[in-house]
Amino acid sequence: MAKHTFQTEVNQLLDLMIHSLYSNKEIFLRELISNASDALDKLQYLTLTDEKLKSLSFTPKIDISFDSEKNILTISDSGIGMNEQDLIENLGTIAKSGTKNFLSKLSGDKKKDSALIGQFGVGFYSAFMVASKIIVTTKKAGEEQAYAWISNGSGEFEIEKCEKESHGSEIKLYLKEDEKEWTSRWRIEEIIKKYSDHIPFPIFLHYTETKSEGEGESKKEIIEEKNEQVNKASALWRVAKKDLKDEEYKEFYKNLSYDSSDPLSWIHTKVEGTLEYTTLFYIPQSAPFDLYRVDYKSGVKLYVKRVFITDDDKELLPPYLRFVRGIIDSEDLPLNVSREILQQNRILATIKSASTKKILSEIEALQKDEEKYKTFYKEFGRCLKEGVYSDFENKEKLLEFLRFQSSKSEGAEISFKAYKERMIEGQKAMYYLQGEDLELLKNSPLLDAFKQKGIEVLFFSDEIDGIVMPMVGEYDKTPLRAITSKEALEDLGEVSIAEETQEKFKGLLEVFKQALGEEVQEVRLSARLVDAPSCVVEPEDQNSAMLKMMKQMGAMGMGGDIPEPKPILELNPNHSILTRLLENQESEKTKEIAHLLLEEAKLLAGGKLKDVNAFVKRLNTLLQETL
């Protein structure tokens, strides 16, 4: 017998489950049945594809039994089973990054937190909420030696060799004194029907029933052994839509996704003809925990003729639809299809393209319900922007789904379509201002000239906007332009500064250029400013959001050093600060003010100052002189 210590993170999880999630204990049975189903899925696939296991005797099923006198609950499966190494890896260790993420996601809401257990693949440990001791007896398919894993959840587990006739796993829970409800036939049946009715393998409940026969002195009690299948064991996606109720769809989603909330919507499709396949996709209400992680887990399972193939293929849908949960079941793919074949498979490419269009049509339909769409967009709007960037085929449809605040929307988000309908007479383009701080964008001096003419400006305040939107170019044949662009100024008819004014400020501009040196690419007079003395704009050939992303990649060892972008400083020739500076161009104070006007403009544009102390020192010096 070998003793092992649980990984630190496992101990944290055990403590959490035993002491924090006790109000929703019933989920332990859902988790153990789900694990048993996964084990059956894996073996069913191998008996069809692995030469060594094709002759294996395999009847996929899950058996549940209980002993109310001894207070024991047992869950068994005829699945793939585990060897000693599997037991250590699966029941003694969990991925540290996943656990850390799990612990950081806990909200204190028992219902939400219990749903996270399944999402993070740590559901086995939930059994310790009801059990004081657990023995897992298991034998891996194709191997001779069986093993027993034993633990009371207090920091250690033991593994020893044992005897077991057939492959699969048996989990024996020695229930705590106050957990007798889990030896009730009705309670177990209730939970199976609630959570596991559409597990695609039969779940049998074994129990004894006492019956009375005869009357008077001849009356005797007969104990009957009962063995009943308690779930439908039908692949729900294979059932005709007309035969399914909304509640069945919702419950299946919860089992599939480990989400305690109802889905926003679902799309159930059966295709017959050249290709035959069935798909069932769900759009969740809230984002999965790993939505923006590089190692996100695919939410779609692939089946071939109802045989589970994989739930770890990120090619089944485009990456920007990774929030979708669901099933693809093909009649035409070979059962022994490999990952490499999947990535280049024509049949799967056709299913992927058609499925993408179906999902986008469902998102389009969601827009009819404003509140529902608001919920959806808050969670997944950024993913749709990724699609605009990566899915050229569906780019125009995806643009219809995007929402932004604007200089006239008063905090609400509007579509490109709504903006275009509100364009004023003679307006030549749709205009936007990009930055990462919405409040700074709303108060940017760059808006002044547009406000004067009554032109609405969209705010692109999401980090991804700076990468995606410059490549959009137009919407519905109308140009989309940054208000900092030369074209935008030309549209306003305010691109040039009178020669007389240029000559008047020529000396002051030179002073500013010398004072600021390498901090700016250029200093010039502005035709766009009304009330502010200065602003900074990006050079036409520069995209700060893209440079920032490249810099981050460089920090991760994916690229070389990226030079710091230099802005263009624009000065308002009509502002009193600038006209006053003309009187004393060569003074040291003018040079200090040049720095202050650049730093002020950077702050208003959402930029960070390299040397905050120098800025404060200049400002204090100026204040002292003024006083």
Better-scored residue on pLDDT, 113 or 503: 503
**For residues 255 and 346, what is the distance between their CA atoms, to the nearest angstrom?**
31
Would you state the CATH architecture of domain 236-366? Answer: 2-Layer Sandwich (3.30)
Confidence of residue 199 (pLDDT cuts 50, 70, 90): confident
**Average pLDDT of the chain, as a whole number:** 87
* AA letter at 87: L
Judged against a pLDDT cut of 80, whether residue 397 lies above it is answered with yes
76 touches 168 (CB < 8 A): yes
111 touches 206 (CB < 8 A): no
CA-closest candidate to residue 532, choices 602, 483, 463: 602
Confidence of residue 190 (pLDDT cuts 50, 70, 90): very high
Residue-level pLDDT at 587: 79
CATH number of the domain located at residue range(s) 500-626 in this protein: 1.20.120.790
544 touches 565 (CB < 8 A): yes
State percent of the chain over pLDDT 70.
88
Residue-level pLDDT at 198: 84
Partners of 75 in the β-ladder: 64, 171
Q: What is the mean pLDDT of residues 269-283?
A: 96
Runs of H (alpha helix) within 181-336: 185-195, 246-257
**For residues 400 and 76, what is the distance between their CA atoms, to the nearest angstrom?**
51
Confidence of residue 70 (pLDDT cuts 50, 70, 90): very high
- The model's pLDDT over 38-61, given as tens digits with 9 standing for 90+, comes to 999 999 999 988 999 999 999 999
Q: Helix (H, G, I), strand (E, B), or coil: what is residue 152?
A: coil
The DSSP H or E segment spanning 598 is helix 588-604
Answering whether pTM is above 0.85, one says: no
Fold of 403-492: Rossmann fold (3.40.50)
Judged against a pLDDT cut of 70, whether residue 483 lies above it is answered with yes
- Written as six digits, the tokens of 447 are 């808006």
Would you state the CATH architecture of domain 2-211+220-229? Answer: 2-Layer Sandwich (3.30)
Better-scored residue on pLDDT, 27 or 547: 27
Domain ranges of the chain: 2-211+220-229, 236-366, 403-492, 500-626
The DSSP H or E segment spanning 91 is helix 84-91
Query: Poorest-confidence range of 134-148, 183-197, 448-462, 482-496?
Result: 482-496
Confidence of residue 164 (pLDDT cuts 50, 70, 90): very high
Confidence of residue 554 (pLDDT cuts 50, 70, 90): low
Confidence of residue 87 (pLDDT cuts 50, 70, 90): very high
- The model's pLDDT over 327-353, given as tens digits with 9 standing for 90+, comes to 999 999 887 776 667 777 899 999 999
**For residues 531 and 285, what is the distance between their CA atoms, to the nearest angstrom?**
44
Q: What is the mean pLDDT of residues 194-200?
A: 85
Beta strands in 423-521 (DSSP E): 430-434, 457-460, 474-475, 478-482
Burial 82-101 (b: 16+ CB within 10 A, else e): bebebbbebbbebeeebbeb
Query: Poorest-confidence range of 172-176, 239-243, 601-605?
Result: 601-605
- Residue 217: how many other CB atoms lie within 10 Å: 6
Describe the chain by its helix, strand, coil percentages, rounded to 5. 45, 20, 35
Q: What is each CA distance from 126 to 25, 119, 267, 593, in whole angstroms?
A: 8, 13, 32, 65
* AA letter at 430: M
Q: What is the mean pLDDT of residues 314-320?
A: 93
